[in-house]
Homo-oligomer: A and B are copies of this chain.
Amino acid sequence: MSRNTFGHVFRFTTWGESHGPALGAVVDGCPPGLPLGEADIQPFLDARRPGQSRFTTQRQEPDAVRILSGVFEGRTTGTPISLMIENVDQRSKDYSEVARAYRPGHADYAYDAKYGFRDYRGGGRSSARETAARVAAGAVARLVIPEVAILGYVSAIGGDAIDPANFDADEIARNPFFCPDPVAAARWEALVDTARKAGSSLGAVVECVATGVPAGWGAPLYAKLDAELAHAMMGINAVKGVEIGDGFAAAANTGEGNADPMRPGNFAPVFTANHAGGIAGGISTGQPVVVRVAFKPTSSILTAMPTITRDGQATDLLTKGRHDPCVGIRGVPVVEAMMATVLADQKLLHRAQCG
């Protein structure tokens, strides 16, 4: 119900705007005794950090995290962990144009309609900068689920998909696109460059796979593991679609084609397919949990689009400034973070009810 809190037992609350002094997250309900320092969080923020290649926004933010509470002698105490990241590169640009008219595709008009006015500096609260707070909270969540490995990557940009035959997890860190297919990565370099130079932008699909999730996490019916994941992912800026396992492809399949047969295994059943994406009846099955997330193209483009001013006059507006030509790319660490927070929460919830 709280608009800025996520989770049930393991939960976090974020605050902050694009051009305010700082942003942050308060993580509540974290188990005590977990070793935690800023160095455990920073690498994930660094992965999301802008300005590292020409394919992301050129805003320079160190995104250095400070732990202000909840850790004592290097371990979590079980009390709220306050994480703060200072904004450094809020450029003192002229915002009069954005203040005056609504950027098409942006939340500008919706914010005004809801609240009566808005912080127009860099998008205010609706800026993707907020996702830094999620990534920080996700880094804490990972400590709660050491049995789980989370792997996120971009599987398509602007409709150009990776070839599963080329999949190599080691490639993900080797290119600026979190792309596991080196051939696709090479194509995307040209693709994104072209869009960037044209003042355009591109959508992307991010996939995220969590292995090591034991059978039994999640719960029927309104806190299903898949429902929680859908909520988590659809709450990320620019996301317009979420799939679990085969997703929309399952809707075009038959019962036989979509079944995940089971065979006896050593300690747990062996599934011979994973159409379900590791979740049945809202509960994990022990198979990898697979989520696919659609990011729309960045709304901020250098092409003028028809819009209206705050006082209802027709105008054309192009969005100058520093923007990601493909916001989905930097969505990878964010999707991973949300996966981690959902799983940490569900692990604790399962322990609560089932011991």
Contact = CB atoms under 8 A, between A and B. Distances in A.
Given A9-B9, A259-B105, A312-B269, A110 B78 contact: no
A354 interface: yes
A353 B9 contact: yes
A313 interface: yes
A51 interface: no
Interface in A277-315: 277, 279-286, 294-301, 303, 305-308, 312-314
A241 B272 CA distance: 22
Interface in A1-48: 1-6, 8-9, 11, 13-17, 20-24, 26, 28-33
A9 to B, nearest CB: 5
A159 to B, nearest CB: 3
A114 to B, nearest CB: 4
B241 A251 contact: yes
Given A2-B28, A285-B109, A351-B355, A130 B254 contact: no
Given A16-B69, A247-B240, A259 B1 contact: no
B124 A77 contact: yes
Nearest to A156: B251
A93 interface: no
Contacts of A242: 230, 234, 241-242
Nearest to A78: B115
Interface in A243-280: 243-248, 250-264, 269, 272, 275-277, 279-280
Given A104-B262, A110-B284, A264-B312, 18 more contacts: A9-B352, A14-B221, A20-B69, A24-B68, A29-B353, A32-B117, A77-B119, A102-B269, A105-B255, A106-B281, A110-B281, A203-B254, A230-B231, A240-B251, A253-B297, A255-B301, A262-B306, A348-B353
B252 A23 contact: no
A299 B259 contact: yes
Interface in A104-161: 104-107, 109-111, 113-119, 121, 124-126, 130, 156, 158-159
Q: Quickly give the copy total for this chain.
A: 4
A349 B1 contact: yes
A201 interface: yes
A350 to B, nearest CB: 7
B8 A69 contact: no
Nearest to A278: B110
A28 B9 contact: no
Interface stretch (A52-60, A181-189, A212-220): A212-220
